Structure 1
Amino acid sequence: MGDTTTGGSGLVGRETEDGVVRAFLARAADRGDALVVTGDPGVGRTAVLDAAAGTAAATGALVLRAAGVGSETEVGHAGLSQLLLPLLDGPEGPPGGALAAVLGVRPGAPPGPLAVASAVLALVDRAARGRPVLLVVDDLPELDRSSARVLGLVARRLPGRRCGFLAAARTGGDPLPDTGLPRLELGPLDEAASAELLRTRAPALPASVRRRVLDAARGNPLALLELPAVLTGDDGGPVPLPPGTRLHAVFARPVGALPAPTRALLLLAALEGTGDLRALRAAALADGRWSDDGWLDDLAPAERARLVRVDLAAGRVALRHPLTGAAAVELASSGDRRRAHAALARALAGDPERCAGHLAQATLGPDGEAAGLLERAAGRARQRGDGAGAVALLLRAADLTPPGPARARRLAAAAAATVDTTGDLPAVPGMLARARAADPRAGRSPAVAAAAAAHLLHAVGDVGTAHLVLARGAATALDEGPGPAAVADALPTLLLACHLAGREDLWRPFDDALARLGTDVPPVLAVAARTLADPARATRADLGRLDDLVTAVQTDADPVSVVRVAAAAAPAGRLAACRPALRRLAAGGGGSRAAALAARVLLAQDGFAAGRWDEAGHTAAEAVREAGRLGYRLLALPAVHVLALLAAARGDEEAVRSRAGDLAAAAAAHGAGLAVHLAAHARGLAALGRGDYDDAARHLAALGPTGRLAPHAPVALSAALDVVEAAVRTGRRAQAAAHVAALRRAPVSAAAPGPALLLAGAAALVAPEEEARGCFEAALAVPGAQEHPFELARVRLAHGEHLRRARAPGAARGQLAAALEVLERLGATPWAARASAELRATGPSARRTDGGRGPASLTAQEYEIAMLAASGLSNKQIGTRLFLSPRTVGAHLYRAFPKLGVTARAALRDALAGVPTPRPPSER
């Protein structure tokens, strides 16, 4: 077995186990050793043995193999003969003595186990003279008893010999319990290893099937390898275990060997799904075949076969593996399954959602009651974040509904939920076709129109046609009166179409429908209609309602609700408050992939605003890729905008051209006027960074005329500081002042830190010279301004530029140095270069006259921190203001104290009084 340290076993997710086996092989080759690999069926015991045998053979060892065979368990020494057969034709001839009769070399009664074991060891010793020997035995529980007894004796006597004994047995089935041999227990693969194995063996598997395989296999390698061949979609039915496969042998045969009453109870347990022993008992009694006295006794055979575990203290029954339940379902007849579902429906009458699911499976023909229960259950499933479950329940409800408007409505609801949550866009046309077949008038239904338009919007990218379909559908529905709820359900998609179109005239049908609905408008839609559509004209009352929704979304599990509230909050500067809910949704989207994608787009926007630029770039790029995979390219436009803004702020002109070009192409191809505004914003920011103010003003003009916040152009609000700076630097101060006045009239500008900082910074840029310093200081003092480091650094930079012009170089250096540090940390290269140039322009700093001590010896950062500490701020407060950790602040003060000749914060004020300003970083 020699050197076993090179290479790996090639078994995915078994690195730790591979290390254990390779160490065993090294010991066995040197001085003898034994190891028994155990684990549940299908977990990969044989694969581990195969890998070990291959490794040993590659290093020159003699590998002898045998495997237990069920039909030979009563044949004496059958396994031993199989194992030693290669040695019978050795150069020294067949063995004699005790082994002769055992191996059939000569007739006679076989000796006792100890004598046979001694003879086996002698034979192995003879074979091991030139190279190590490895004995490999698979399926120990199926080995004949006489061979098992001999091999147990052999395994314990290997130390000191160049021989290893490696065997495999299912957990609990080892026939060598008293040997004390070392064990290696194989558990299921973890999620990452399972996904990797599935990716390498079934790379073309659709995402929905991949998820179903992972859920059903639960880390069992055999299931991961064989299920992809038999699963073609997520139809909600039981996982098939096709006859003739190893998977069927491992999971279905043991279930089929159980008594009929045990299989029936196992079927109830599998379909109940939660493992609640009380629910299983109620279902068993509802079935009628069991009484309350001793009903659980029929589950004992399954316990003895290690197929289930019953914990009476905890009131739980657990299947050993989910595929055991799948086997119980598959082996049952359709009548048995309906009877079990009916019993569970009666037992779970107090749980309407679960009751509806079982009632649907127990019903053969149309059933209005079951369909209604399923539809309501779908609503609850969606509210708790189970988009895929909601779609499955709606489709089953439609199956149980006779042809007509109700069936069409349920199919349309399933299509809409698919678009909003699961992201399975290719399935939507089929659902809509079934809806139209169920009701010839379904084309006029607002539900069908909304689902069809949503598919048009995302899968096709046809903003104009989607808007037309929705506008006409809403108007027709309001005229014909199917109910306000039906119209309200269609309006979120119309709102999105209007937002993407970026045209003021297209908002009229939406505004008309909203006005006609009056108080029947859902709260989220009412608020989004103001903040997402035209944030500059949102009232204080609108913003108050938005705050209530943002508070409520923290505990909202409905992915669609979370996305809609966060989208409404973004233009109003409240996206940061939605961050925890969005992160939960993005991380655990599962069956709500479309909603999770929207959450990532919003998180990318939040990351840029909060100065977490690396995170924002990663999240935005991931969102763009995911949107391409799912087909939601228009939904990813704001993520492309984030990537363009990052490139603009960092001075990557080529990336700005590329990303802005993507946005412009989307605008032209899909009628998405919003993309024109997004591209203009990025191009304008890039021009500001490189100092080309005329070009910046030209690009930003696409957002509307300077001096007026264009209606239905939400980007104009977030780009307000850019617009004002471009106007000021191109000599249009009056227009810039008018723009600031328009910002002041918008309540949203003062209602959150981000918009408030933009307003205050813009106001400082247009303020008269004698008032500018106070305006800049007011901008820097905006509560929460530090949450927006890029904009705050830009305001500091502008303040420093003003102070330098006002002949206050010392004060200018403090602002410029602080701006420079943040801009360098963000990687905002053009802005950092500008700050650095301004620092150099403030002139030389005071020279040291005290031998390296005193305030003049402080760096710019040390000086600013010392000044803040002298004013009474704590390290934490200073860190918050300067975007430093408290530990970093403490380190700066630790270096500053000796330079100032002080030992306590109380002495800082006197030490700093009347001191020249320290040198900027560029001069150090």
Structure 2
Amino acid sequence: MSGASRAAAVPGLYDRASELAAVAELSARAAEGTGAVLLLTGAPGTGRTALLDQAVRDSRIRAHRVAAPGGNRVPWSGVRALLSALAPTPSAARRALRAARGPGGVPGALAALCPGEPLLLCLDDHHLWDAHSRAALDAAWRGNTGPWAWVVSFAAHHRPPEVAGARLLSLGRLSREGARCLLDDLCRVPLTASFRTRLLDEAAGHPGVLAATAVRLSSEPKAGDGPSGSVIDDVSLSEVYRGLLGSLPAECGRMLSLVAVAGEPVPDTGRPDPAAGVPDAVRPVRADAVLAVARAVRASPEALDRLVADGLLHGSREALRFDDPFLRRAVLGAVPPSRRRELSALFAPPPASRSDDGTPGADARALPGVVRGRAELARGVAGLGDGPVGDAHQVLLLAASLLREGAPEEASEARSLAMDAAWAAGDPEACAIALGASGLGGARTEAFADTDAVERDFRDGMCAALAVRLEEARAPLARVVAHDGTSDEPRRLLRAGVAALVLGDAPAAVRVHARALARVRAAAATALLPRVLEHLAYAELRAGQHERAAAHAREGLRTAESTGQRNGAAHQHAVLALAASVRGDVPAVVEHAGRALGTARAHGLVQATTLAEWAIARTELAGGLAAQAAARLAPLVGRGPRGGHFALRMLVVPCFVEAACAAGRRAEAGTAAEEFAVWAGLGLDPQAPAQLARCRALLAGEDDAADRYREALRHHEGNGNDFERARTLLAYGKWLRRRRRLVEARGPLSDALVTFERAAAGVWADQARAELRATGGAVGRRTAPGAAGELTPQQQRIAGLVAAGATNHEIADRLSLSPRTVDHHLRNVFARLGVRSRVELSGLLAHGTGDGRPSER
């Protein structure tokens, strides 16, 4: 339909000819047996549902529009509604739903219900469908091979589904002629020419606003006589935007109200208005002013980032604005007049009050400091998320000092965030200063008064831990875990999780951070979500839960990137690199570690740098490049400016000792192991006793090594980290095999292999499998053997190490052979496989396994 013609079937649908033509083209492709997806987006009131209804009526194939089920988004309710629309009976719908949940997914259910029949399936408000249904539909669209045309609508402030090759259409405003036709269709009372022109001008082609206003005018005959002021009232706008505003979390609604009020003209205070002459609809607002007021009225600052990420607010931190002036008016219209006056007063410049003796009053003295402190706090939070963390630390300390008298709770929050910045920077003394001490081991300063007993416990415990007075740290930090670990406040839960990690209780840290994640999701605190996921993923790494850590890190990475928190993204990349080093996914390690280091080095993120370098080194060690791994790890376990993060140094030592022993750097390995023994004796890491025994076994002579390995395995039994236990089993099995104790070696190697496979630790499983095969033990096949199946076990191991990039000397060190023996085996490998170079060998083995990796490491 063109804007000049009327819709015969559905009055009011104008200027949508191109969209309807796109749907018709999609339906025609479905009729020919080719499925496809069309994505349809639009702001509230632009007619997404009306267009889908018209498409169903116009369709020449079977068509249905399925709305988002109401209620609490019950799992699978969306798919259930879709299949119920297609099924002839309720029982058939139930059978189809069971099929949709099975291996065949939604395509299998559709094929069973409507075999070979082309369908036009219009799914309305995709963003309101339950998560299970959205995931099932995403999977169906990725492999859409049936004769089904999908038209999927979603709100403009939500991200579209990721469908390769899908066309995306956005419903815009109507032309002047289309708007005039729509108004004539819907308005049942005569309008004067001037009033009609004013209405069309104000509506600016917004179909929903025009329709709501026309309905109101039809119920109030005198309304069309030409009232003064705005023709479109708040009641009409509330009707159009009710669905959007009602679906927002309460915190986001409050923050929208603050931004809307902040954009109103400055009251007459005798001071110039910097935005004088700018229309209210596009009047920019400073984010720091909004955040300062948000803290004063206890609104969540994180909601502002979510509104920007979702596109409901636009611009920069210095100039936020509503792109949709009707949304701003609808938000303002929902604020009670008395509340609106209160908020306006908070945005107004503070009065210069005076006491009876003519000196500035207490309120006048405190208020400027508080306002400035809140602005600095907002700036520090932004820097902590995306900027040099050393700078953020200083800004947050300044904010704390400005807020100390007028807003002590906000000052406490600023100090906590300053400690986070110092921790990320790997500066223990700065951490202590943020906590209120004069430095490591120093007394608390008067400037930082306590607000409650739990905060005092946290500060005392952390200051003692930073000064390595661990007996003093245990009791107060344990009280923090016991108290804040059951809180409903995410920041208290984060504090409890940090305390649990410092105490070495990784399971408790995982539990507390998982609780924080649930609370943050329930409150829709988008800006806080990356921080919580960062803490949770790290706790899961400490607990040996690598795949769970990777899953949370991937979510945290997406959220950090969407909210512009590059520092959080760098930490998530580092966690993903560590998890990939367990799997042996070398390209993933290189990618994630590289991206982490790119930001971490520029912003002084020593913690993320240490994690990323550790991941690279662990990959090098697993690939037989012990010398490279030892060289990379040596600075991380040292002290001083070139050293690693103070809280990670001892965690890295066992990996360094293993690499250094294999690389012939036994003296350095021994020094590190002795320092690690002191650390293990503190009792803050349940893994440490077993790892210490393994380190001593690697350094021991022939008579003591076996006892040390068995001691390590005894310690492993009670600490629950299967990955570390399997590494000890692998090291013990290697030691036994190289001493020709082949029968004895098979037990620990078989146990290690099974454990690594269960943990999806592919590269480590490869090592265990190769060692077990070298003992003559039976191993299961990973994949079709390919070319590697023609080699002896020893040749396979050498070929795999060559494919991983190891030199002959490195292979000799790894396998306890001479370089001449390695060269002899390698010539036989070349001859047997018909290749002439290491490059050809690597390509042949990668092709043989079908996964891009050599068959053995």
TM score, norm. by length of structure 1: 0.48
What is the match of residue 345 of structure 1?
A: none
d(CA) in 2 for partners of 1:421, 1:544:
38
TM-aligned CA deviation for residue 761 of structure 1: 4.5
Separation of aligned partners in 1, 2:494 and 2:745:
43
Distance 1:474 1:605, change over 3 A: closer
Q: CA deviation at 1:817?
A: 0.7
Indicate how the Cα distance of structure 1 residues 511 and 43 shifts in structure 2: closer, same or farther if over 3 A, else same: closer
- 1:631 aligns with 564
Residues 610 and 734 of structure 1, relative CA distance in 2, 3 Å threshold: closer
Residue of structure 2 aligned with 1:831, choices 755, 759, 764:
764
Name the structure 1 match of 2:393.
467
Offset at 1:594? 1.4
1:524–1:565 Cα contact (<8 Å) kept: no
Aligned to 2:58: 53
Which residue number corresponds to residue 500 of structure 1? 424
SS of the residue 1:744 aligns to: helix
Query: Letter of the aligned partner of 1:247 in structure 2?
Result: G
Residue 527 (str. 1) matches residue 458 (str. 2): yes
**Aligned partner of 2:375 among 426, 448, 453:** 448
The structural deviation recorded for 1:542 is 3.8
Instruction: Assess, with a 3 A threshold, how the Cα gap between structure 1 residues 579 and 807 changes in structure 2: closer, same or farther.
Output: farther
The equivalent of 1:581 in structure 2 is 515
Q: Determine which of 641, 657, 671 is the counterpart of 1:735.
A: 671
Kept after mapping to 2: 8 A contact 1:534/1:714: no
Superposed CA deviations along residues 135-185 of structure 1, whole A, max 9, x for unmatched, are xxxxxxxxxxxxxxxxxxxxxxxxxxxxxxxxxxxxxxxxxxxxxxxxxx9
The counterpart of 2:728, out of the listed 787, 795, 803, is: 795
Question: How far apart, CA to CA, are the structure 2 residues paired with 1:693 and 1:776?
Answer: 21
1:279-294 correspondence to structure 2 within 5 Å: none
Report deviation, 1:491: 0.6
Query: Is 1:716 equivalent to 2:649 in the alignment?
Result: yes
Name the CA distance, whole Å, in 2 between partners of 1:734 and 1:556: 44
Q: Deviations over 1:431-465 (max 9, x none)?
A: 9xx98965994488543322221122324x13232
| In the alignment, structure 1 residue 388 sits paired with structure 2 residue 252 | yes
Map 1:678-827 onto structure 2 (within 5 A): 678-705=611-638, 713-729=646-662, 730-732=665-667, 733-750=669-686, 754=687, 758=691, 761-762=694-695, 765=698, 772-773=705-706, 775-782=708-715, 787-804=720-737, 809-827=742-760
CA spacing shift, 1:585–1:610, aligned 2, 3 Å: same
Query: How far 1:743 sits from its partner (Å)?
Result: 1.6
Partner of residue 528, structure 2: 595
CA distance in 1, matches of 2:702, 2:296: 61
Distance 1:399 1:198 in 2: 41
What one-letter code is carried by the residue in structure 1 that aligns with 2:613?
A
SS at match of 1:593: coil
Q: 1:562 aligns with which of 493, 505, 509?
A: 493
Displacement after TM superposition at 1:781 (Å): 4.4
Q: Aligned equivalents of 2:688 and 2:212: distance in 1?
A: 61
**2:416 touches 2:434 (CA, 8 Å); kept in 1?**
no
In structure 1, distance between residues paired with 2:423 and 2:585: 29
Q: Please name the residue that 1:352 is paired with.
A: none
Contact 1:422/1:593, CA 8 A, preserved across alignment:
yes
Shift of 1:698: 1.9
Deviation at 1:797, TM superposition (A): 1.3
Preserved contact between residue 654 and residue 695 of structure 2 (Cα < 8 Å): yes
Distance (Å, rounded) in 2 between the aligned partners of 1:568 and 1:422: 28
* Identity across matched positions, percent: 24
Q: Secondary structure at the match of 1:748?
A: coil
Q: Helix, strand or coil for the counterpart of 2:528? A: helix
Please, which moves more after superposition, 536-545 or 650-659?
536-545
Change (3 A) 1:718 1:709: farther
Alpha-carbon spacing, 1:46–1:463, altered in 2? closer, same or farther (3 Å): closer
Are the aligned partners of 1:585 and 1:596 in contact in 2 as well (CA < 8 Å)? no
**2:529–2:559 Cα contact (<8 Å) kept:** no
Cα offset, 1:819, TM superposition: 0.8
Which deviations, in whole Å up to 9, do the C-alpha atoms of 1:107-139 show, x marking residues without a partner? xxxxxxxxxxxxxxxxxxxxxxxxxxxxxxxxx
For 1:734, the aligned partner's letter is: G
Q: 1:393 to 1:51 in 2, by over 3 A?
A: closer
Supply the distance in 1 between the matched residues of 2:498 and 2:250 (Cα, whole angstroms).
Answer: 21
**Gap change, CA 1:412 and 1:520, over 3 Å in 2:** closer
Structure-2 separation of matches of 1:697 and 1:57? 66
Deviation at 1:842, TM superposition (A): 3.6
The one-letter amino acid paired with 1:744 is A
The 1:838–1:662 alpha-carbon spacing in structure 2 relative to 1, beyond 3 Å, is: same
CA separation of 1:329/1:719 partners in 2, compared to 1, >3 Å: closer, same or farther?
same
Deviation at 1:845, TM superposition (A): 8.4
Shift of 1:640: 0.9
2:577 aligned residue (640, 644, 655): 644
Q: Where do residues 875-894 of structure 1 align in structure 2 (5 Å cutoff)?
A: none
Distance 1:437 1:244, change over 3 A: same
**Closer, same or farther: CA 767–630 of 1 in aligned 2, 3 Å:** same
Cα distance change on mapping 1:486 and 1:554 into 2, 3 Å: closer
The root-mean-square deviation of aligned C-alpha atoms, in Å, is 6.0
Instruction: Give the deviation of 1:796 after TM superposition.
Output: 1.8
Q: CA deviation at 1:821?
A: 1.9
Q: Larger Rg: 1 or 2?
A: 1
Deviations 1:455-476 (A, max 9, x none): 22324x1323222323345457
8 A Cα contact 1:502 1:713, kept in partner? yes
- Distance verdict in 2 for CA 1:447–1:818, change over 3 Å: same
Give the 3-state SS of the residue equivalent to 1:676 in structure 2. helix
Contact 2:494 2:532 in 1 (8 A): yes
- TM-superposed CA distance for 1:841, in Å, is 4.2
Give the Å deviation of 1:632.
0.2
Distance (whole Å) between structure 2 residues aligned to residue 609 and residue 529 of structure 1:
24
Matched position secondary structure for 2:624: coil
Unaligned runs of 5+ in 1: 1-9, 23-40, 59-184, 212-222, 231-240, 261-323, 333-381, 847-921
The Cα of 1:814 is off from its aligned counterpart by 1.4
Look up the match of 1:410.
Answer: 293
3-state SS in 2 of match to 1:714: coil
User: 2:670 is aligned with what amino acid?
Assistant: A
C-alpha contact 1:706 1:735 (8 A) present in aligned 2: no
Q: Is the 8 A contact 2:480 2:496 kept in 1?
A: yes
Q: Distance in 1 between matches of 2:672 and 2:300?
A: 46
Residue-by-residue CA offset, 1:402-437 (whole Å, 9 max, x unaligned)? 999999953565899425884567665469xx9896
Superposition pairs for residues 285-324 of structure 1, below 5 Å? none
TM-score in terms of structure 2 length: 0.51
Gapped regions of structure 2 (runs ≥ 5) = 1-18, 32-45, 64-120, 139-148, 161-169, 180-201, 222-232, 242-247, 272-287, 309-314, 321-345, 351-363, 439-443, 780-854
Looking at structure 1, the residues matched to 648 and 20 of structure 2 have their Cα atoms a distance apart, in angstroms, of 52
Pick closer, same or farther for the CA change 1:531–1:838 going to 2, 3 Å: farther
Distance 1:598 1:689 in 2: 31
